[in-house]
């Protein structure tokens, strides 16, 4: 089947739907005096061709499984700031299960929205169809799975971030570099671990499997793994943590064992949430531009209205290493 033309006219869409142009126009303008089945059919066609149905509400919906973390806060703040610039506000919908997710999407669609941003969660078939039928654009922020062709998303270059963090430690003379990662089912965790391995491989340093750990993305997770690493016969001289929260926990473990950071052990975080620079020592970390990711996703919601571009698109924003005070040259050791 040849690809669909990118910008069909309303006349084309009317012909395809078997209705008049004025009916298409009604659906486009959010009028409800068109039979639901017809409205659905026209809505789907309009949305396939990059038209947005319904009236602007001045609201965009963020769907997230919880706040209470600096990571979530940065994403939300980025969306709120971008929305404010567009005289828009962000509705925060907390969703904790797939069933809740479908119910919340129903509620959002019934109320009306200019678009939906989901965090981590990659919606599937029925939800995608429901949104498309109503002409509601969707963008996924920091997808927890490999984003497919059907959904637009904004992530970050996790692989490159972990590579630069590990390379920074190699450049400082470290050879025994531990990696603490997050829960294994998360896509970005696997991608980052590959970046860590790639940096070691490029430097000809073998991966010591006992130095690769997985735990929760919390200070407690980082502390637990760091205490364990410190108890090894040959402890590492540096740790790449899975996120900044874990890195804070590593710093606590070091203090408990009287190990100085960065003189005795270097620590790198991941994310660069605002509190990363509150740490003592201030954290060297891989900056994931969380606020910019959410802001980009918000702007992508609006693109579908204006440009008629309905093609899915996956964007990855650059990660950058931010060098602060928690990394230093490897301590001299008898080899």
Q: Which parts of this chain interact with a copy of itself (CB under 8 A)? A: 57-59, 61, 66-70, 72-74, 76-77, 80-81, 83-84, 87, 89-94, 104, 107, 111, 219, 245, 248-249, 251-252, 255, 274-275, 277-282, 291
Nearer to a copy of itself, 104 or 198 (CB): 104
* Closer by beta carbon to a copy of itself, 7 or else 280: 280
Question: Least distance from C-beta 97 to a copy of itself, angstroms?
Answer: 12
**Which C-beta is closer to a copy of itself: that of 90 or that of 310?**
90
Decide whether 19 or 95 has the Cβ nearer to a copy of itself: 95
What is the Cα–Cα distance from 277 to 304, expressed in whole angstroms? Answer: 38
Report, in Å, the least distance between residue 248 CB and a copy of itself: 4
- Annotate 293-320 with b (16+ C-beta within 10 A) or e (fewer): bbbbbbebbbbbbeeeebeeeeeebebb
Residues 6+ apart with CB under 8 A from 22: none
Q: Least separation, in Å, of the C-beta of 281 and a copy of itself?
A: 7
Q: Could you give the 3-state DSSP secondary structure of residue 27?
A: helix
Q: Shortest distance, CB of residue 153 to a copy of itself, whole angstroms? A: 22
- The backbone torsions φ and ψ at residue 213, rounded to the nearest 5 degrees and listed phi first, read -125, 155
Q: In whole angstroms, what separates CA 63 from the centre of its chain?
A: 13
Supply the minimum distance, in Å, between the C-beta of residue 100 and a copy of itself.
Answer: 9
DSSP state letter for 61:
E
**Per DSSP, what are the bridge partners of residue 192?**
none
C-beta closer to a copy of itself: residue 170 or 276: 276
* CB of 263 closer than 8 Å to CB of 48: no
Q: In angstroms, what is the minimal distance from the CB of 267 to a copy of itself?
A: 11
Rounded to whole angstroms, how far apart are CA atoms 19 and 23?
Answer: 6
Is the Cβ of residue 80 or residue 138 nearer to a copy of itself in the bound state?
A: 80
């Amino acid at each position: 089947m040849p690809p669909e033309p990118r910008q069909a006219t309303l006349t084309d869409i009317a012909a395809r739907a078997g209705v008049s142009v004025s009916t298409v126009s009604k659906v486009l303008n959010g009028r409800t005096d068109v039979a639901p089945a017809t409205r659905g059919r026209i809505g789907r066609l309009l949305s396939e061709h990059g038209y947005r149905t319904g009236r602007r509400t001045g609201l965009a919906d963020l769907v997230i499984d919880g706040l209470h973390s600096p990571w979530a806060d940065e994403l939300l703040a980025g969306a709120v700031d971008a929305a404010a610039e567009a005289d828009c506000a962000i509705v925060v919908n907390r969703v904790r299960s797939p069933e809740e997710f479908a119910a919340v999407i129903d509620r959002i669609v019934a109320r009306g929205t200019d678009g939906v941003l989901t965090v981590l969660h990659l919606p599937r078939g029925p939800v995608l169809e429901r949104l498309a039928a109503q002409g509601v654009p969707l963008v996924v922020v920091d997808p927890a799975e490999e984003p497919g062709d059907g959904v637009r998303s904004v992530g970050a270059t996790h692989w490159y971030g972990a590579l630069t963090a590990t390379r920074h430690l190699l450049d400082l003379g470290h050879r025994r570099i531990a990696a603490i990662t997050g829960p294994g089912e998360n896509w970005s965790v696997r991608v980052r671990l590959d970046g860590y391995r790639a940096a070691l491989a490029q430097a000809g340093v073998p991966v010591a499997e006992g130095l690769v750990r997985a735990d929760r993305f919390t200070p407690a997770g980082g502390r637990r793994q760091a205490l364990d690493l410190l108890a090894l016969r040959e402890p590492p001289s540096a740790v790449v943590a899975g996120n900044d929260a874990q890195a804070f926990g590593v710093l606590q473990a070091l203090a408990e064992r009287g190990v100085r950071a960065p003189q005795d052990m270097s620590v790198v975080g991941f994310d660069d949430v605002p509190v990363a620079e509150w740490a003592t020592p201030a954290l060297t970390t891989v900056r994931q531009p969380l606020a910019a990711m959410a802001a980009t996703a918000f702007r992508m919601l609006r693109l579908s209205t204006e440009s008629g571009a309905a093609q899915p698109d996956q964007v990855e924003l650059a990660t950058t290493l931010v060098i602060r005070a928690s990394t230093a040259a490897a301590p001299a050791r008898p080899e």
